[in-house]
Amino acid sequence: MASRRWFTQATRLAGIPGACELSVTGESWRQAVRDLAAGASRLLSIWAEDAPGGGQQVRVAFAADPGVLVLALDVPDSSREYPGIEEFFPAANRMQRAIRDLNGLRSTDGDDRPWLRHASWPAGFLPLRGGPVPAPGPPMADDYAFVRVEGDGVHEIAVGPVHAGIIEPGHFRFSVVGEKVLRLEERLGYVHKGIERRFGQLQQGEGHRLAARVCGDSAVAFSWAYCQALEGAAGVAVSPRAAWLRALALEAERIANHLGDLGALGNDAGFAFGLAQFSRLKEQLLRAMAVAFGQRYLFDFIVPGGTAVDIAGASLDSLTEVVNVIARQSHTLREIYDEHAGVRDRFVGTGIVAPELAARLGLAGLAGRASGQRYDLRVDLPCAPYDRLETRKAGSAGGDVAARVAVRFDELFESCRLLREIGRQLPNGPYTCEVAPAPEGSRGLGLIEGWRGPVLVALTAGAGGGIARCHPHDPSWHNWPVLEHAIIGNIVPDFPLINKSFNLSYSGHDL
């Protein structure tokens, strides 16, 4: 395939199996991106960092045959412009706009609207180029150029950025005729937290704690990806028991999120019974996790070199028993969801994302698998112990809310099976080891299939055990633009249900 040609010219990148890096010029950058798109490669993330010899470097990661390829393009300070890749990978648009806000580099794609700044800091300040943080000024609202839809009977409904309840802020601008949605435009980035700059102020051995808090519902995925990147850069291999314990925690995190979402989706369809039952099951799981892992939510379980604590046999048995109950009762609840006429009426045919559109826009993770994009890192690029677990992919080509619910159920049951299997095969041995600081300038890459989709962490080691650059990436960056298409042709009151069926993060990482 076309992507293999670029891999043969690349050098090995530490962290994950099959990861390589290739430095390219402006011309070969475009050709490589074009070839990768033609070979059905998947954009993972694009970011920028200071180059060793001065200026900056734009880096873009792809999941491609036969692994992960990172392209690196030097951009001198005298230019501050690089060839955009939105033509080939539409999901790159918002990532490139974030690079402009944070690093001052402009893509040639031409969308210069801010994404993260929101007039929150002076236009001349670049958070990832160093320098003191400016003193906060008076709150300002910048003049943002939303795309307008013209025509008879068309009007706009502005929702947010402040919402009822406790969800993070996000602005949704609906163009409608009556209640039928013609267009939705989102604006996010209101809660930029400076996470990437903060990484540069930490030691390598501290970064996992911040990584776990990049996106609270994906703490295991982000902390594992960070540790994977650090261990790769430091040349450390964790013990088999540590790898299996990490997978146990990842599947527990997946189960907890699916239980919460299935209940919330029932509630959004007017079926409060579903919310009550799945909330009950999630609480049972969280209590069992508190006993097994020492935490209900696993922010500090995964650490460099392994895990923070071991799991005793009795607490593991208790966790397995709870998971067995969850699996049995969830099968019953699925039958109820499938047979309830009101629920089916709300789910079926609502918020459709056709497989062709999903492929074009790069829909990732669970939502992608519900629209024919059957890609799962646990199967397609497995790290230990997934290379031995024979994970079964879930998937559907329906692309509607019903399909996304079905995939959640299938993945819930599969994660319950995997958790039992991990408990049965859990090897003996140490659960942690020492990780010395990675040498300055060394790089590592972490890539984990979180419950929402692929979670990437790219790490560059700094001097004295510090962090020169750490870029975490949440799959919500890919999926938010697709939600704008999923609502088209639906009515406004269906938006909360469609939105919940994706359940994307509003603030991790700094959307």
CATH number at residue 31: 3.30.460.80
Residues 301 and 249 sit within 8 Å (Cβ to Cβ): yes
Distance CA 99, CA 510 (A): 12
Residues 347, 437, single domain; the answer is: yes
Burial 301-313 (b: 16+ CB within 10 A, else e): bbbbbbbbbebee
Amino acid at 220: V
Distance CA 156, CA 158 (A): 6
Distance CA 62, CA 41 (A): 6
Instruction: Write the burial class of residue 338 (CB in 10 Å: 0-12 exposed, 13-18 middle, 19+ buried).
Output: middle
Residues 414, 284, single domain; the answer is: yes
Is the omega angle on the peptide bond into residue 509 within 30 degrees of 0, that is, cis? yes
Residues 11, 105, single domain; the answer is: yes
* Residue 493 within any structural domain of the chain: yes
Res 1: pLDDT: 55
Output DSSP code: residue 438.
P
Distance CA 40, CA 34 (A): 10
* Residue 174 within any structural domain of the chain: no
Tally of CA atoms within 13 A in the half-sphere of 356 that contains its CB = 0
Residues 87, 233, single domain; the answer is: no
The gap from C-alpha 158 to its chain's centroid, in whole angstroms, comes to 27
Pairing of strands 19-24, 67-75: parallel
Distance CA 413, CA 407 (A): 10
Residues 6 or more apart whose CB falls under 8 angstroms from that of 471 comprise 45, 47, 49, 59, 196, 456, 457, 458
Distance CA 186, CA 89 (A): 19
Cα 283 to Cα 260, 275, 280, 296, 323: the distances in Å are 9, 12, 5, 9, 12
Pairing of strands 11-12, 19-24: antiparallel
Residues 332, 459, single domain; the answer is: yes
Distance CA 433, CA 473 (A): 27
Can you give the residue range of the structural domain that contains 287?
195-502
Which candidate, 26, 36, 84, places its Cα nearest to that of 61? 36
CATH code: domain of residue 378: 1.10.645.10
Residue pLDDT tens, the chain, 511 long: 567 788 888 888 877 878 999 999 988 999 999 999 999 999 999 999 999 888 999 999 999 988 999 999 999 999 999 999 999 999 999 999 999 999 999 999 989 999 999 988 888 899 999 889 888 888 788 889 999 999 999 999 999 899 887 788 999 999 999 999 999 999 999 989 999 999 999 999 999 999 999 999 999 999 999 999 999 999 999 999 999 999 999 999 999 999 999 999 999 999 999 999 999 999 999 999 999 999 999 999 999 999 999 999 999 999 999 999 999 999 999 999 999 999 999 999 999 999 999 999 999 999 999 999 999 999 999 999 999 999 999 999 999 999 999 999 999 999 999 999 999 999 999 999 999 999 999 999 999 999 999 999 999 999 999 999 999 999 999 999 999 999 999 999 999 999 999 999 998 877 6
* Residue 161 within any structural domain of the chain: no
* Residue 185 within any structural domain of the chain: no
Residue spans of alpha helices (H) in 53-184:
92-103
Query: What is the phi/psi pair of residue 230, to 5°?
Result: -65, -45
Residues 6 or more apart whose CB falls under 8 angstroms from that of 58 comprise 46, 47, 48, 72, 73, 75, 82, 99, 105
* Residue 142 within any structural domain of the chain: no
Give this prediction's pTM: 0.97
Counting the structural domains of the chain, the total is 2
Distance CA 234, CA 270 (A): 52
Residue that finishes a domain, picked among 127, 161, 178: 127
Distance CA 413, CA 410 (A): 5
Residues 383, 492, single domain; the answer is: yes
Residues 72, 214, single domain; the answer is: no
Which candidate, 488, 508, 487, places its Cα nearest to that of 496? 487
* Residue 141 within any structural domain of the chain: no
Distance CA 217, CA 263 (A): 16
* Residue 176 within any structural domain of the chain: no
